[in-house]
Amino acid sequence: MKVFTRIPFHRYSGFAAAIAVFLVSSASSVATAAYNHPVMWTDMSEFSVEAALTLPYSSPANLYNPSFSDSVLNEVARDKENKINSKFKIPHEIRPAVTFWLKIYTRFTTQHIVLYDSRHPDVIYEALDFRRTAETAKSRLVYEVIVKNKLKKTIAAYKTAFASLARNSRPKNPSREQKLILKATRNLPHKHDFADLKKHMRSQTGQRDNIIKGLIAAETFFPKMELIFSKMNLPIELTRLSLVESSFTYSAISRVGATGVWQFMPDSGREFLMIDEDAKIDERLSPLKSTVAAGKLLKRNFRVLKNWALAITSYNHGTRSLRKIAASEDFKTIAPYFSFCSKRKGTIGWASRNYYPEFLAVLYAETYRDRLYGEVPKTLIRPIVYESPGNYPNPLAFALHRGINLQEFKLLNPDIRDLSRRFPPDLLVAVPGERDNVSLLFVEASRRRKAPSGKARPLLASGPRISTDQRR
């Protein structure tokens, strides 16, 4: 992810506004350059969350040094306080996978790399800790080189250890790595030889600090997103999928083009949302507009698959191969398709099999955030009103004439990538208001009809999303 260093808007807002007014009359877009970049998490510092960013919740100590015990994590995984909707209780068949991802999201940070067995994710060999390296490295590049070299050497040492154990499973003087392997595999549910285990060791970077940062932004939108899903008769818990997809990073773009907090691919995005390169509009970047699109996709997939585990998996995997699985609301009947250790070739790839456990892990972590992250500061944004821009020539003129701070306008409308371009037809603009009318998004989405290539397409058209196994 690129990081932008900018002077805080409040330090030069008067100057920027004056320049912008001048350039509206001269039809130039130079002054908008400071606002025509993807919205980053750091931009939230200008969006009524200053207090949140200075509280212990977002401090380096909380981001990178979790203080909860193993017993707390176990209580969360068991839903001891019975906070979780019965639809999303953890099935025992995938409990090890959910517990693993719960640790990735809560205990391990982006300065940890976890080495584990991909078929038995509860088998963790070790977690490489680079927190000290992050503090002392002279630059980000130096840090990344150190991490890469250390990981490469460690994996090589493990491969040597696995190969040695395959020849002699009871060495008299085991190496450090051999000791860790023997300890981690002591309680495997069934036998694997060490040559086989060697093939399935994987590494995973922790995500605790990303989730904490994401929650600061997400908590401002979750009530509005829940309202949208509630009006669509969807479980409001599904809004937490946005954390799995992007850690609620506005400008998240995957290496294959999945974009926004809901990570829509270009094709699926055009089915549900406006993507207009000429006007520099990409509604995938709007958390609320893309929530409506995600709700429609999830609702359609559930109607086809009859099971939330499959419908959630299909958000990443697509429905085509999942249609072969007999529809049932009982997870036991579909559990074999989510098995990580099976010789039977399934219809769901390894990454897609992890997707539902990841969702459950994020849901549990966010539900018990007070115990795992600390209480997320309440920094709700003002009510948002969606309206047609009318006869204004472009977003810059609209914002200035309405007296809307340009930084706030950009944060409310991250789908508008260039404030100097003309408004396209049917675009709804978010402005601060007295009472939310986010339900208008649902009405507008249902009204849209087929448009020329590059614009929004019919909302009920078919076409599965690309598999997570292809795009991750």
DSSP 203-215: EEE--HHHHHHHH
Instruction: Inform me whether the pLDDT recorded for 243 exceeds 80.
Output: yes
Packing angle of the helix pair 140-167, 176-184 (nearest 10 deg): 70
Alpha-carbon span 35 to 39, nearest angstrom? 9
The mean pLDDT value for 282-308 works out to: 93
pLDDT per position as a tens digit, 121-146: 999 999 999 999 999 999 999 999 99
Q: What residues have CB less than 8 Å from 370, skipping those under 6 apart?
A: none
Q: Are 73 and 361 in contact (CB under 8 A)?
A: no
Please report, for the chain, the start and end positions of each structural domain, with discontinuous segments joined by +.
1-64+85-104+210-472, 111-205
- 53 falls in which pLDDT band (50, 70, 90)? low
Least confident window among 9-13, 116-120, 129-133, 194-198:
9-13
Token pair 């007070």 in the structure block, residue: 370
Dihedral sign for Cα 103, 107, 110, 115, please.
negative
Which pTM does this prediction carry? 0.82
Cβ-based neighbour number of residue 67 at 10 Å: 9
DSSP 363-429: HHHHHTHHHHT-PPP--PPPPEEEE--TT-SSHHHHHHHHT--HHHHHHH-TTB--TTSPPPTT--E
Dihedral sign for Cα 208, 121, 316, 75, please.
negative
337: exposed, middle or buried (Cβ count in 10 Å: 0-12, 13-18, 19+)? buried
C-alpha closest to that of 470 among 376, 321, 353, 352: 352
Instruction: Inform me whether the pLDDT recorded for 13 exceeds 60.
Output: no
Q: Are 16 and 30 in contact (CB under 8 A)?
A: no
What kind and span of H or E run contains 311?
helix 308-317
Distances, alpha carbon 154 to alpha carbons 6, 147, 412, 439, in Å = 38, 10, 45, 52
Select the highest-mean-pLDDT range: 3-17, 191-205, 363-377, 393-407: 191-205
Instruction: Output the six-digit token pair for 269.
Output: 């995005």
Helix (H, G, I), strand (E, B) or coil at 255: coil
In this predicted structure, what is the pLDDT of residue 116? Answer: 98
Select the highest-mean-pLDDT range: 39-43, 307-311, 444-448: 307-311
pLDDT per position as a tens digit, 151-182: 999 999 999 999 999 999 999 999 999 999 99
Task: Quickly list H helices, 185-286.
Answer: 194-199, 208-231, 241-246, 266-272
- 251 falls in which pLDDT band (50, 70, 90)? confident
Alpha-carbon span 206 to 104, nearest angstrom? 5
Alpha-carbon span 142 to 322, nearest angstrom? 44
Phi/psi of residue 142, nearest 5 degrees: -60, -45
